[in-house]
Structure 1
Amino acid sequence: MLKVALLIVSVGLFVLSVQSCSRENSGESRESAIPDQVSYNFDIRPILSDKCFACHGPDANKREAGLRLDVAESAYQALKENPGAHAIVAGKPDLSQAYLRITTQDTGMLMPPPSSNLKLTTREIDLIGKWIKQGAKYEKHWAFVAPRKPTIPAVKDESWPANEIDYFILNKQENNGLKPNEQADKERLLRRLSLDLTGLPPTLKMMDDFLADNSTNAYGKMVDYLLAQPTYGEKMAIHWLDLARYADSHGYQDDGYRTQWPWRDWVIHAFNRNMHYNDFVTWQLAGDLLPNASKEQILATGFNRNHKITEEGGIIPEEYRVMYVTDRNDLFGKGLLGVTLECAHCHDHKYDPFSQKEYYQMFAFFNNVNEVGIESVIGGPETYAKKPLMEISEEDVKGILKFVNKADTNRLIVSVMGDLDSTRKTHVLTRGEYDAHGEEVTAGTPAAILPFSKNYPKNRLGLSRWLFDKKNPLTSRVYVNILWQEFFGRGIVKTSGDFGMQGELPSHPALLDWLAVDFMEHGWDVKRLVKQMVTSSTYKQSAVFSKDKMAVDPDNILLARGPRYRIHAEFIKDLVLSSSGLLNKTIGGPSVKPYQPPGLWEGATSGRGLLSVYNQDHGSSLYRRGMYTLIKRTVPPPTMGIFDASNRDLCEVKRAKTNTPLQALMMMNDPTVLEASRVLAANLLQEKNAVPDKIEKAFRLIVSRKPNTKELEMLTAYHEKQLKHLNIQTASKVIAVGEYPLTKNIDVKALAALMRVVSTIYNLEETITKS
């Protein structure tokens, strides 16, 4: 009955979530008024990008009638097919052929043509008409203009802002007739903060201390405490592992084992010691090229060797070597620049001002790595890393690499970066084919973003200097946006991997620019940026929503309430293990193989290598944090995949958020959840107090707040019902889960009954939701 009841609740929640997603995907149904001053960047370009640029944009191969509408000079000049006419005549819509063609009733002349299935709305037509009337002024794409620090806006309620962030947020709320929520209660606020900064729920002591601290700086002290915890580095590493496509296998068909985990240890270490973002990225891009590079700096370059590598015989080596370089180039574009650079791999970008030649100029920075397409086929330890590689000795882990958790004396090798002594030639590849060499090119960067300075060396170190040039318009904006997404669930730019023409416009452009410039002005200090975000009044709001706010801002774009969304897959496991007392707090080291349904690897493998058969780990390895679960690319961990974890095939800067019945079924039946329920129940039974007290403690450990009277009554009644109806045989089956030793001489029926109560608490929607 319990499982049926939980399934009904889960399906109900799923339906509500689907309805919410439908609202989100449908966009804003209400058409806003035409602004007094129409902006090309924020009003016109999105229309042209969606409806016009496919035929009249940057891609010369797809351009119709020789007309480009993305460039002012082309839009203003005489039409190729009608020299006496112009697409756009500034100030005169009635003489602008572009405007006449979008307003005509003649379907043979109408643009976009009906056959394209694209259609402009009345508001879009009016915007274009007003823009032309106001002078049809073009602007460089907002994301390709270096940010300037705007003035802090004025607000009516001067008492609300806690820092500069809040002025930007409140100003926009007030302009839209909204007010922010009250601050969340201390229990929920602490839980939100602890999950965001450590990926773990707060301990009972943290809860008690925080509730008892009535000082004005109680929250600030808790922020500082959590930022100083080693678990902070583990939490922060997750988004970077997704971006860097970290995995424990090489990928492709054989999908053999790789020992890239020391690089993961370094990422955790770098976040914990608050390595500033410019150094953090520079070491990863070009640590091997730094003067007198240390082993730590070289290890950091494992970042760009996390891509898939084949071990299959019969392949064409050069084809795969080019694929590796392509992967690194595309990662640089999406992960660090926030643009879809990969779209220019085969032809000029259709929407953004990136030519195919510029794509291969970027490609040249990564094309000189001393690697081959296939080095060795799947086999023993010598294949766990591919050249160029670095060996980590016992002396290293006692000295410069002491953060590497090397527990045995086995040989440990890691794939890193290292260039050839000579320069490998780079060509534009016709249609992107590895062997179709076109024009030879040298290293360079897209001019639309920032031309490459002659003062920078034409290698990866020079590329890093270009990346952190104060004139680079993207680097700071992109990372600030990724961190905002981590704490608020949605980036200021929703399309966090696409700041280009087809990406979403920023919801708060002035705030994004202010944060980006402020981040640079303070030396790219990541912890400082994190603290700014989590100490803002915006962050501390209650997540409670009203019908009025839902009507005005259903997706909470204006942030008039606190964030509410499901936590990442890894943190669901962490929460279960931590609250039950099972968590193994060891930081770093090799990945582990916890419980998994049998036969998954065996049914999807070539039958060769260390990862052909799933040999589950035992003992304390079963209770490591979710981030240490071994990721085999062809068969990623199923329980984490159900909760939208990345399989790490490619760079991923934003995870999907889905709601499916499988998630409810997993929480009800996963061995880790059931084992944690048993262990926590057994621990509670050892305490000499009443059952309601035991249930209240379990609730606090799992949900991080005290249950209200009704909740406690319902759970206590459920416990009494279970205790009454369970027999020894059924109870014995209920508790027969997991490998953690069963407490000796324990009352089996009492354990099973309390275990089911604890399992119910784990299955609450609130348990796995940040709110």
Structure 2
Amino acid sequence: MRYSVSCLVTRCLCLAALLSVFAGGPLSLRAAELPDKIDFNFHIRPIISDRCFHCHGPDNETREAGLRLDLPDQLGETVDEEAGIKYVTPGNAELSEVFRRISSHDEYMVMPPADSNLTLSEREIALIKKWIEQGAEYKSHWSFIPLEPVQLPEVKQTDWPRNRIDWFVLKRLEQEGLAPSPEVSREQWLRRVTFDLTGLPPTLEELDAFLGDESPEAYEKVVDRLLASSHYGERMAVDWLDLARYADTYGYQADVYRAMWPWRDWVIDAFNQNLPYDDFVTWQLAGDLLPEPTREQVLATAFNRHHRQTNEGGSIEEEFRQEYVSDRTQTFGTAFLGLTLECSKCHDHKFDPISQKEFYELSAYFNSIDESGLYSHFTDAVPTPTLLLPEEDKADQLKSLNTQISAAATELQTVRESESASFEKWLANRNPDETGLEKGLVGKFTFDEIIEAEEQKRIDNLATPAQFGKMSDDPEHIDGYQGKGLKLSGENNFRTDAGGNFNRSEPFSIALWIKADHRAERAVIYHRSRAWTDAGSRGYQLLIEDGKLSAGLIHFWPGNAIGIQAKEALPVNEWVHVTLTYDGSSQAVGLQLYVNGERAEVDIVRDKLAKEITGGGATEFTIGQRFRDRGFIDGEVDELRIYIRELTTIEVKQLHDGETLNALLAKPGQDLTEEEREQLFAHWLTHHSDHYLQASGKLTSLRKQHNELIDQVAEVMVMKELAEPRTTHVLYRGAYDAPREEVTRGTPASLPPLAEGASRGRLGLAEWLTSPEQPLTSRVAVNRFWQMFFGQGLVTTPEDFGSQGALPTHPLLLDDLANQFIDSGWDIKALLKEIVLSATYRQSSLASKELYARDPDNELLGRGPRFRLSAEMLRDQALYVSGLLIDKQGGPPVKPYQPEGLWEEKSSAVYTRDEGEGSHRRSLYTFWKRTSPPPAMITLDAAKRDVCTVKRQTTATPLQALVLLNDVQYIEAARGLAVKAIEQAPEDRNQQLTWLFRSLTSRYPEDRELELLKQVFEEQLNDFRKHPENAAELLKQGDHPVNTEIPQSEQAAMTVVAQMMFNYDEVVIRR
């Protein structure tokens, strides 16, 4: 079939991009300027991805004419059968429609079309033409190709390589006609490697020891020492905190504190213990799903809870819950696959073979935890799921209490069984008029009379007169079930503080008559809480949901609560007696619903209550209305009873009909059925058995102790799978309220499939990710580790290994390192050791003009790396050399110096600095507030951590120099360093300045440098002697006490020298 010209124009909208690549413009480019062998991935794909994939790539929505240039089958389709023309005809550019289009001078035929504003260079055209002539070999995208063993290349300078890395680097340099740079000095190498592996500079003692060690193992001994240092884990953790978007606050508007630091400490420990990378990843993705997981394995899953969260009024809970799921999915893609999955949230990826459906199949793995889209506004409840982290002594106490509670529950059952004989004696002499329904009654409201008080109307409490009832917005006083009752509008209420502030260890019962005039989707009958939209609104409640009664006790909904719902709908347009009883067990089976005296069959909705239900700010038991909830519209209520004990079944019946208990008490013993005897036995135990009451009181007391103790225990957000996976849908345009096709868990088809029989949960995903067959995981990880040492990865876009990302500068080296990483058992320390002991790493950062001109970005690795120290390293260096650094690992975040008022600009919070130790910890322990990160660190390019960050931006601004000069933290450090320098040799200025210089640069100053330092010192000394008040003012900066033995003018002058040195290139730049 032949296509018309107009059809071809439409179908090949972007093919001209290829054609202009192949033939457009003059094709006189010399062959010598092109590679001998054209590789599709490294020479062709980048061109068509950038110019053609938007219209002819993976995205269905933007594809023109149904043509995909990312699929080899379509490239080979016939365009003109008679003429033998295909889109790409291997070996013949003249018979390739792509070539014909881009070589056309017809404005209607040429591609890319003029209105696309896209063009191809002469070299790009020649590259694609040569590719066609060489056979047009197509390859899958380079990063999706499985890893294969790599052979060492042959090189000329065989005495240069120190390990496998160097052979690949040297081969590339020799191909470019270049040679490696000379080896860096031992001093600079030690400074370089010490910063790289610990984030701190070497001490002078370490420097002298290394310089004095002439053994062949000197370098290796240094590396082993650094890798064994606890500072190693702290340095490694910084990059991982960026990647995991770790912060100490929730983000968004309120941005209040949340305790996630135990996970940060786990990361430090994991690096220090050299946890294999596959385990490191697996624990963070699915540690909770491992067989009998340890506390550390569950804690590791906090990785997926570091996303921002909101509690802003008016926010839609499901919208933000879906946002959290999306964040986890995108972070998974960036952190472990090096892919921009976020592009597929709203549509098929425009450049990579990731469809929108596949995005949601992957997100289904992260969509099944018992979480809320909103965290608590009224309480500090930790959003569920959570892990309790008791300290060792509290853990022992809790374990002991659990044992005692179990024993007390067994004892109670034993007492119950042993009391049969006593019950029979009572049964023979029982009093038929003694119901016992006044026992434990703290609230009795008949609603028969509304009393007009001076301040407000009230309703008497016949059980506890001092705790009367109040009303808001005047509920209507109507004929009730018995006498008078109240009719509610949904906006008004009845309230009382009559004993309703129950904690989770206290049994209680609440009974009342209600009348609903319609089957409500949702209605609040009563509660003691603040607001249902607040996931942490602690308390208890009785609702109508989908026409059915629903009850619950809540610490944080949904994951830290117990809840039940009646199977049958609540009758409407009739009075119904409803009783809720609770036994104090914190278990859903301890909640019972009764409807008209009969126990209702219920479904258990939630069954994990681990912390207190009080303390949420609710002060009163309320009927009919709740803040930001649907009230009991046109609902009627009457005869409210509140008990501080669990009612028995027969007592509930008595409250309902007023006669069942009396009738059974009067019935002859021989006429009682087995069920009736059992009901009377339960009644007798509650009212007459001293042994039973004593055992029951003991159990309640132990539960109360456990409750009070566990309420002090810290929690951290973690992952925990729902019993049944939540349904996941493709969301149209990514909108939470526009679900389309239902999807199940799955991985992208462009990557290896899940192993046969693999778990379909997060653990199966982690196993898939760390499988040796997975082409991305090890490449992505190795690339990021390489970036630590060279400032950029072998792939300079660590966040994007897809079509729009950079190509690897040394693809065989990347694959060789990835293979080694897997073969070593994913040994991180072994990989880092290999890198820092290479000749490549040992090169000087100084290079010839020719090398700088040929390779300004050092992609060829012909010289040592040179880049500014990170924000954390600069601050930690200042504290370390000054002797102010508190070398303490882990613990809650600290608040060092920062300008006043910054927090207040963003929220109502006030920043209160930690004095002393808290101002001198390592920077990774600094409190990280998302809406107002530490300003000095942000100025020095620290990541904001709102999203997963795998490479920090690098800027150069005057503000950075001003921070190092004027920030109180650096002034105080300069003071400390100045005192240490003077104390080295009180009478020898040269020695003082030499010690200071060497402490900061790891080398001796040259004569001209020393003279300059002396000049600055003398000038400042003279000035401070003339103006001693200026010296006193300078030395007041910071908490560190002023040395009283050294003249203040001398201290101040040396402080200025230290301040100047903090800005010195060799101190700021890691060479």
Q: CA deviation at 1:452?
A: 2.2
Equivalent runs, 1:68-467 vs 2, <5 Å: 68-79=68-79, 86-377=86-377, 379-380=379-380, 382=381, 385-395=382-392, 411-467=713-769
Partner Cα distance (1:272, 1:538) in 2? 26
Contact 2:329 2:363 in 1 (8 A): yes
Equivalent runs, 1:691-702 vs 2, <5 Å: 691-702=989-1000
Q: 1:747 is matched by which residue type in structure 2?
A: P
Q: 2:976 is matched by which residue type in structure 1?
A: V
Where 2:158 maps in the other structure, the secondary structure is: coil
1:769 corresponds in structure 2 to 1069
Distance 1:531 1:709, change over 3 A: same
2:1038 corresponds in structure 1 to 738
Partner Cα distance (2:132, 2:32) in 1? 19
Q: 2:910 is matched by which residue type in structure 1?
A: V
2:894 corresponds in structure 1 to 592
Q: CA deviation at 1:60?
A: 1.4
CA deviation profile, 1:708-765 (whole Å, cap 9, x unmatched): 1111111012111211222212222222211111112431111111111111111102
When structure 1 is superposed on structure 2, of 509-518 and 698-707 the one drifting more is 698-707
Where 2:902 maps in the other structure, the secondary structure is: coil
Q: Which has the higher contact order (CA 8 A, sep 6+)?
A: 1
Where 2:729 maps in the other structure, the secondary structure is: strand
CA deviation profile, 1:346-377 (whole Å, cap 9, x unmatched): 11110001111111110111111111112421
Distance 1:438 1:527, change over 3 A: same
CA deviation profile, 1:226-263 (whole Å, cap 9, x unmatched): 11100000001111111111000011111110000000
Partner Cα distance (2:793, 2:305) in 1? 28
Contact 1:568 1:643 in 2 (8 A): yes
Distance 1:208 1:374, change over 3 A: same
Distance 1:483 1:323, change over 3 A: same
1:638 corresponds in structure 2 to 935
CA deviation profile, 1:195-251 (whole Å, cap 9, x unmatched): 000000001110111111111211111111111100000001111111111000011
Q: Unpaired segments of 5 or more residues in structure 1?
A: 1-29, 400-408
CA deviation profile, 1:100-131 (whole Å, cap 9, x unmatched): 22222223322111221211000110111111
When structure 1 is superposed on structure 2, of 158-167 and 732-741 the one drifting more is 732-741
Equivalent runs, 1:559-574 vs 2, <5 Å: 559-574=861-876
CA deviation profile, 1:668-721 (whole Å, cap 9, x unmatched): 111111111111112333343401111111111112211111111110121112
Partner Cα distance (1:128, 1:318) in 2? 49
Of 850, 854, 862, 1:548 maps to 850
Equivalent runs, 1:717-732 vs 2, <5 Å: 717-726=1015-1024, 727-732=1027-1032
2:822 corresponds in structure 1 to 520
Q: CA deviation at 1:591?
A: 0.8
Q: 1:539 is matched by which residue type in structure 2?
A: Y
Where 2:906 maps in the other structure, the secondary structure is: coil
Partner Cα distance (1:361, 1:725) in 2? 70
Distance 1:584 1:335, change over 3 A: same
Bigger strand share: 2
Bigger helix share: 1
Partner Cα distance (1:336, 1:600) in 2? 35
Q: CA deviation at 1:93?
A: 1.1
Contact 2:41 2:140 in 1 (8 A): yes
2:773 corresponds in structure 1 to 471
Partner Cα distance (2:351, 2:921) in 1? 45
Partner Cα distance (2:728, 2:1030) in 1? 69
Partner Cα distance (2:722, 2:963) in 1? 49
Partner Cα distance (2:65, 2:880) in 1? 64
Contact 2:994 2:1010 in 1 (8 A): yes
Where 1:427 maps in the other structure, the secondary structure is: strand
Distance 1:692 1:378, change over 3 A: farther
Partner Cα distance (1:83, 1:182) in 2? 60
Where 1:438 maps in the other structure, the secondary structure is: strand
Q: 2:245 is matched by which residue type in structure 1?
A: R
CA deviation profile, 1:116-153 (whole Å, cap 9, x unmatched): 12110001101111111122121111100111121001
Q: Unpaired segments of 5 or more residues in structure 2?
A: 1-29, 397-710
Contact 2:372 2:383 in 1 (8 A): no
Q: 2:959 is matched by which residue type in structure 1?
A: L
Q: 1:455 is matched by which residue type in structure 2?
A: G
Q: CA deviation at 1:335?
A: 0.5
Where 2:86 maps in the other structure, the secondary structure is: coil
> What is the total number of aligned residue pairs between the two structures?
726
Contact 1:183 1:542 in 2 (8 A): yes
When structure 1 is superposed on structure 2, of 130-139 and 188-197 the one drifting more is 130-139
The alignment-based identity, stated in percent, is 50
Where 1:539 maps in the other structure, the secondary structure is: helix
Of 1032, 1048, 1051, 1:751 maps to 1051
Contact 1:67 1:79 in 2 (8 A): no
Distance 1:537 1:410, change over 3 A: farther
Contact 2:309 2:375 in 1 (8 A): no
Asked if 1:716 is matched to 2:1014, the reply is yes
Q: CA deviation at 1:397?
A: 9.3
Asked if 1:669 is matched to 2:966, the reply is yes
Contact 1:49 1:351 in 2 (8 A): yes
Q: 1:591 is matched by which residue type in structure 2?
A: P
Distance 1:32 1:70, change over 3 A: farther
Q: CA deviation at 1:289?
A: 0.3
Q: CA deviation at 1:331?
A: 0.6
Distance 1:97 1:533, change over 3 A: same
Q: 1:599 is matched by which residue type in structure 2?
A: G
Partner Cα distance (1:681, 1:78) in 2? 79
Partner Cα distance (1:397, 1:301) in 2? 23
Partner Cα distance (1:82, 1:62) in 2? 31
CA deviation profile, 1:45-82 (whole Å, cap 9, x unmatched): 11100111111111111111221111111122135999
When structure 1 is superposed on structure 2, of 204-213 and 96-105 the one drifting more is 96-105
Partner Cα distance (1:155, 1:445) in 2? 41
| TM-score normalised by length of structure 1 | 0.92
Contact 2:84 2:95 in 1 (8 A): no
Q: 1:731 is matched by which residue type in structure 2?
A: A
Contact 1:312 1:378 in 2 (8 A): no
Partner Cα distance (1:92, 1:376) in 2? 67
1:50 corresponds in structure 2 to 50
**What's the C-alpha RMSD, in Å, of the aligned pairs?**
1.9
Partner Cα distance (2:1031, 2:313) in 1? 54
Partner Cα distance (1:588, 1:378) in 2? 29
Of 822, 833, 849, 1:531 maps to 833
Distance 1:701 1:417, change over 3 A: same
Q: CA deviation at 1:639?
A: 0.5
Contact 2:79 2:97 in 1 (8 A): no
Partner Cα distance (1:421, 1:364) in 2? 14
Contact 1:160 1:537 in 2 (8 A): yes
Of 680, 685, 690, 2:988 maps to 690
Where 2:905 maps in the other structure, the secondary structure is: coil
Contact 1:65 1:81 in 2 (8 A): no
Q: CA deviation at 1:446?
A: 0.4
Q: 2:887 is matched by which residue type in structure 1?
A: K
Q: 2:952 is matched by which residue type in structure 1?
A: R
Q: 1:474 is matched by which residue type in structure 2?
A: L
Q: CA deviation at 1:396?
A: 7.8
Partner Cα distance (2:66, 2:285) in 1? 40
Where 2:61 maps in the other structure, the secondary structure is: helix
